[in-house]
Structure 1
Amino acid sequence: MADVAREAGVSGQTVSRVANGRSNVDEATRERVLAAMRRVGYRPNSAARALRNGRFRSIGVIISALSTFGNSRTLDAVASAAAGEGFSIILMPVTRPSQGEVSGAFSRLDEQAVDGVIILIEQHELDQSEIELPHGLPVVVIDAGGRRDHPVVDFDQASGATAATRHLLDLGHETVWHVAGPPESYAAERRRKSWQETLEDAGREVPPPLTGDWSSRSGYEHGVRLAGDPTVTAVFAANDQMALGLLRALHEKGRSVPGDVSVVGFDDMDEAAHFWPPLTTVRQSFDEVGKRAVAALLAGMSEAGAAEAISVPTELVVRSSTASPAH
């Protein structure tokens, strides 16, 4: 840093402010210091900085089922929000969220010196009493169940599923079938429960839910069965990928959408607007969840956080895959 200061003709404090990204340096001086850094080959030593101020500028993320659309989009949002705050992320996948795997992931992250941990595990095992999250690091949980010993950030799954079901009933459909997500998923459970409660509150028949695994393939397989039942006029799929498979099955079996069957999805993935027909779906703001999760974690690092539940609203996006039933 002394070499940079001499090269740029500034004080060591000014070099330190530039190296740490402080804003109280005028732009011309900042550019002069950065140019001097490049000339002398200076790079800030993050390990030394961490020893000095107690921050590693790194966030650990423990995640399961990285291949699912929701988890991958949420992870992307967390990474973007972390980068915006000057933090990098260290990813720690777990194949099954048991006590041993979760504790092992924490230990490995602790060895890699992170400032806090975000947990993105949707399976029910995370909420079982035998799984205890280690102490000593700030933790934020995304998409979890009833535990409230750490801040929890989640979408308002219930209102989204209610809006989807209510939309189909308001169009005049007698009832709504449901292609549900896997039973071990919190999101799937909340969407299924809200769908059922909305039908019950309206005094409508509740068809047996068909359980999928979030994949287009499972949506297609259930769609083949639903397409063969002429009484089915409306279906709410628990995610857009299963809705895509459902649409294919209906098309193949000669059931027009929305002429014969209306379809609603959940997620509003980028491709949903380009399905045929364009898919009515429930939009989730993954960017907002990422920002809220990182903000809650940073608050925990400064001891200003609280074990609160943060709910991010959802929004029904109406497109061409839903209409009033044919008479």
Structure 2
Amino acid sequence: MSDWYEQPCKALDDAARQQALARQRQLTKPYGALGRLEVLAVELAAMQGREKPSLERLAISVFAGDHGVVEEGVSAYPQSVTGEMLRNFVRGGAALSVLARHLGAPLEVIDLGTVQSLALEGVRHLNLGAGTANLARTAAMTPAQCEAALAAGRDSVLRGIESGAQLFIGAEMGIGNTTVAAALACALLEASPAELVGPGTGLDDQGVRHKREVIEQALALHAVSEPLDILRRLGGFEVAALCGAYLACAQAGIPALVDGFICTAAALCAVRLNPDCRDWLLFAHRSAEPGHRAVLQALAGEPLLDLGLRLGEGSGAALAVPLLRQACALHGEMATFAEAAVSDRPA
């Protein structure tokens, strides 16, 4: 496989960081009084290489794919929902569609490979396969499929950058993908399914127990330790695309706002493939899915929101964008003590 994902990530701009820190100390408030909003503004300054960062232009991409493991009965919803939701995304009826519209952000919808043969206007169909293979019985992806999915994520980021995006949000759609994310997280963290597996889109206790058993079977079958092997054997098309997108963001120097459990599992895989990728990741929220907390902890990710969300689909990341924009606005538009003729505390 191509090793583009191992190429160096862009370095953060320490000079811009120091300039932003100095500005924070001059604004008409006690230093530190705006808490994490100040930290976020400084982080974004280092990412954008400018004292006053801005997040007016976004790129949001939904990566969709089906999963062979659904035949094991791990989801409360039929697989046909994946394709039906793609139609809902482009028609503007999905939660992320609504949020993107209110954010003034374009929404790109990418079908990497679904069980149903689709030809939807407004959807980029890549046709990597009719979903992945059943990870409980064989490798989910061939090497060629995994490489193509990674590249699809990279290409989406590059399109966003060409359009002037200052922040990338990767979203996902795929019935069964909490099973995939949990399997990936268990393998990457060497954790047991009992620790990380949750109800996903609404399984009852018996369903969760069965889901754990299926993942245990998959982990026993795929006893590998290399991150790329783990991704290929246990991942999904959309998860690999998210992984590729996060790596491309870091290499190109654009911050990525990571959504919930599935996206964070993909981010963990990206960081294992190229550790410097971590510098370019911001974490939107902590979801209600049990495994999300463990993956966030492994990435030292401090989420912006904690609202008990479990929808996925990039919705939590979209909800966090106004907070980032307000951090930038406060940092860039507040007056300094000198500008406002307000006395600062004595040095």
TM-score (norm 2): 0.26
- Structure with a larger share of its residues in strand: 1
Select the structure of larger CA radius of gyration: 1
Structure scoring higher RCO (CA < 8 A, sep ≥ 6) equals 2
TM-score (norm 1): 0.28
